[in-house]
Structure 1
Amino acid sequence: MTTKSTMDLRTAIYLAAVCNQTYVQYDNDGPFLTPNGYSLVGSFSAASYTGNEEPFGFVLESDRAVILAFRGTRSPTDWITDMIAQQVAFKLVGKSCMTHRGFTEVYLSARDAIFKLLDQTGKHKPLFVTGHSLGGALATLASADIAVNRKPASLITYTFGAPRVGDPSFVRRYNASVPVSYRIQNEFDVVPHLPPLVYTSPKTDKTYYYLHLKEEVKRSFRNGSIGNNHIIGSYFADLAKDAPDFAATICSGPPGWCPLK
């Protein structure tokens, strides 16, 4: 069941399938499936906690739109990144904006490559930014950065099971700068409840404050375990129930395009 929202359901289903391919990209060390009508502009990597580069997403383009997609947590070092919840200044959007250190360091390591890929796309086309889990956090940072520093013709952000990313100043800046943004969240998914609203660093005892972004789209599903309540396949399956004919159409090709629970 869904709360009232102007979110476009078909867009959400389609982008959930795109997010699934970011995991396929990582698992295959590069190769993944592009949807019909889209071509690959390029892939990008980001530095993990240890400094090693990992595949973290890609940019796709069609005649009508551009998609920037980010991968969520997959490697052991990604889990360490998720836990580095002290905040750092995200000066790209404002001196007073503070964001999760782990997420921010990963995003900054990929920023130049991402912007070079976006430079190769049509500036008049809508830009969709999406990601699941950690990828949702990276999509959030990218959207704020792109909105402030690139000013695209049209910017639309959809995240799935994303954690909190920044402090109240960052959230205010994001909400004012990113025109269309939907944060799709299963109420039984633990990841969107992290970091907590008030986080105290175990190393320094310093306290940090976190808030969520605008436009929560609440979903409600239980799939038998903590992990299954979070994975992108579960989000896709839940959304697809509301538009089964559309989901079946996009799943008809290429084979393996749609995620599995």
Structure 2
Amino acid sequence: MNNTPQPSFRIDPTLTLALAQASLAAYNDYERKPFKAPDNYIYWARFTGWDDWFSTYGQEERFGLIFKYVGPENVKNRFIVAFRGTSSIADLYEDANFELEAFKPFSNTVSPVANVSSGFNSIYATKGGNMKLTMQQQIFTALAPTASEIFITGHSLGGALSQLFTLDMRVSLPTVRIGTINFASPMVGDASWQTACNNAGATGKIIRVANYWDIIPTFPWYVPGYVSIGREFNIAFSSIFGTVDALSDHSLLNYQTVLNHCVWLNPQVWVGHFIDAVYGLRMSSTAVPSVAKETWLSTLKEIHEMKRSLLATNEIAEREIVLFEE
């Protein structure tokens, strides 16, 4: 259960905003738009992934960017690896594929075997078409052998991929310093995944930034057994008019706006208004409500189940009408 307390720890303002910018850049690169590297970083490499449609159709897509640090700190070979979120129909299929399969690291072995979403894992670890290397292989090839410190990030689907890569780094290159801050990430695997991350030291490296009103970090709540890992840093924003819109509550640009305000405060909570990046709604950022997220989420689940039941009933009725007319 998540009782959504106010932040009990602080997130690094500069790093958090840099990683949010890197995640946004990954989206822009997918759309072939110009992108802005985080401050004190330069573009280093791009990587792709394979989206497999029902094991019949598939396509190679741009999935992320790697940036190298060139700032004033006396540190060599520091990188950011940023994964983008859902941006295509193929992504939607993979997002919805929550059957479990075993995760295989780039090198060495995971103990215990970690069961993760086959949709996320397929993008990360498979190839198709004219791809020469999987996403996993591309990233490790681009970083090895020089990387000494890696910050990992992603939004939504990209947040899930960032968690897979975090475990992979702890298992495959355990001497490299890493840290992960992702945004609006869904859950990735079951208890075996959680245990594997604990054993490898990955859990303590992950911070998940989540909007209290965003339902995606609770996905797949309708599939038993999935668990969250890492520490959760909560913010709270939604439409001031009380309208429920999943896209606005999930938007990376809206996350970025709230974080730009709150990370510099003590406590890191911003109360204010801003314009929605999706529909231009008037949005409100508040302290995280004291009511557990599961309380209002359970109502949403009831609505979801009712809708599914009604649709199924109507579909049966329509079939009966067609049969009667025939």
Smaller-chain TM-score range?
A: 0.7 to 0.9
Matched, 1:56 2:63: yes
Residue 103 (structure 1) aligned to one of 104, 110, 120: 120
Offset from partner CA, 1:106-128 (integer Å, 9 cap, x none):
011311111111116x333x210
Q: What amino acid sits opposite 1:52 in the alignment?
A: Q
Matched, 1:234 2:254: yes
Q: What amino acid sits opposite 2:114 in the alignment?
A: C
CA contact (8 A) 2:112 2:196 kept: no
Offset from partner CA, 1:19-48 (integer Å, 9 cap, x none):
11111001117x532234322221000001
Q: Distance in 2 between matches of 1:101 and 1:159?
A: 20
Q: Distance in 1 between matches of 2:88 and 2:60?
A: 11
Residue matched to 1:187: 212
Q: Distance in 2 between matches of 1:100 and 1:233?
A: 26
CA contact (8 A) 1:22 1:69 kept: yes
Q: What amino acid sits opposite 2:161 in the alignment?
A: L
The alpha-carbon deviation at position 187 of structure 1 amounts to 1.0
Matched, 1:74 2:74: no
The alpha-carbon deviation at position 243 of structure 1 amounts to 4.5
Identity of aligned residues (%): 28
Q: 1:69 to 1:237 in 2, by over 3 A?
A: same
Normalising by structure 2, we get a TM-score of 0.68
Q: Distance in 1 between matches of 2:141 and 2:43?
A: 14
CA contact (8 A) 2:18 2:38 kept: no
- May I ask how many residue pairs the two structures share in their alignment? 236
Matched, 1:123 2:140: no
Normalising by structure 1, we get a TM-score of 0.84
Q: Distance in 2 between matches of 1:193 and 1:226?
A: 13
For structure 1, list consecutive stretches of 5 or more residues without a partner in the other structure. 200-207, 246-259
Rg (Cα) greater in structure: 2
Q: 1:185 to 1:36 in 2, by over 3 A?
A: closer
Offset from partner CA, 1:111-151 (integer Å, 9 cap, x none):
1111111116x333x21010000000000000101111111
Residue matched to 1:257: none
Matched, 1:87 2:91: no
Residue matched to 1:251: none
Residue matched to 1:42: 45
Q: Distance in 1 between matches of 2:186 and 2:198?
A: 16
The alpha-carbon deviation at position 239 of structure 1 amounts to 0.8
What is the 5 A alignment of 1:1-261? 2-28=6-32, 31-50=34-53, 51-63=58-70, 64=75, 65-92=78-105, 93-109=110-126, 110-119=135-144, 122-124=146-148, 126-176=149-199, 177-178=201-202, 179-196=204-221, 199=223, 208-223=224-239, 225-243=245-263
Over the aligned positions, Cα root-mean-square deviation in angstroms equals 2.2
| Runs of 4+ residues deviating >3 angstroms | none
Q: Distance in 2 between matches of 1:34 and 1:8?
A: 18
CA contact (8 A) 1:123 1:152 kept: no
Report the secondary structure of 1:46's partner residue. strand
CA contact (8 A) 1:127 1:152 kept: no
